[in-house]
A and B are shown apart, each in its own frame.
Chain A
């Protein structure tokens, strides 16, 4: 059993490092992306507060695409619970719940933990928590997704499943690097 030493010097520095943030200035954009992601952190965390101008499934694309994505989720809507799975998909889904068209004041929230994103020996696992708060129609879910690639993640873009719907103005997306001891 490994005994893990406590790193006294490391605890003086924060773990979550903001790498980039974007606020949608209007409702005419179909997506955004982060490129040239530094490879020196342990994990990535994406925090999105977003809405769309039409009903849509929110999606993400890692690097240039071409990988196989899959997702398993568990959700509830105040009436019932459900579990879903999607396999061999061309891009990742932030959530398997569709975002219903909302006003700019009625946003959804997603937090995605992209673990060991710089690894070259393991597939990429992501843990998602999502909440869609609306009067009488909100949902909450947790999901795990997989990208079958051994390549490090160097770019992430957020879009819609068909790439043709618009984000609401004031949508914000922030990318953090999660530092481990010694990083």
Chain B
């Protein structure tokens, strides 16, 4: 199994983008992995989720378990939620220079016979606050994944954030 870089935002230079959109995703890999190093400008709460949409689908169900250093929690999104909720990243009120991590796996994304399962690991620590969680869910849509949207609701990605998309192949690596 080998991983290949497909696309990247690069380091987002300014806090003016609320969404990142990958299109024309090659249909030649077995799985996809999204790696987010992010922070939002939202002042609503210390920790923020980021939403994920596959091929524009607006029907997701998801659930997660995690801890914030003080209490453990289990969450469940409403059925037919418009976005898949990824693990938390820090908001504007969190310690400066702290960014969160989201590693999202989307399995068998080209298959047109089944809904797409999503699994996310992520969180952040800010030396006295923070949260980690494991989230999973699925897109209630059997279409192949050709586009991915990552959204921070009501806010922007903070400057310094980054989103990278990778393809995971079951064939032998061809280089590097």
Contact = CB atoms under 8 A, between A and B. Distances in A.
B125 A13 contact: no
A165 B69 CA distance: 28
A181 interface: yes
A148 B127 CA distance: 9
Nearest to B24: A6
If over half of B's interface residues share one DSSP class (helix, strand or loop), that class is named, otherwise mixed; here it is strand
Interface string B99-116: 111010000000000000
Contacts, number: 196
Interface string A79-90: 001111101100
A2 B20 CA distance: 6
A179 B5 contact: yes
Contact of B26 (A6, A16, A146): A6
Interface of A: 1-7, 10-17, 42-43, 68, 70-75, 81-85, 87-88, 113, 115-116, 119, 121-123, 125-127, 129, 142-146, 148, 150, 178-183
Interface of B: 2-9, 12, 17-26, 28, 35, 37, 65-72, 95, 97-101, 103, 121-128, 130-134, 160, 162-167, 173-176
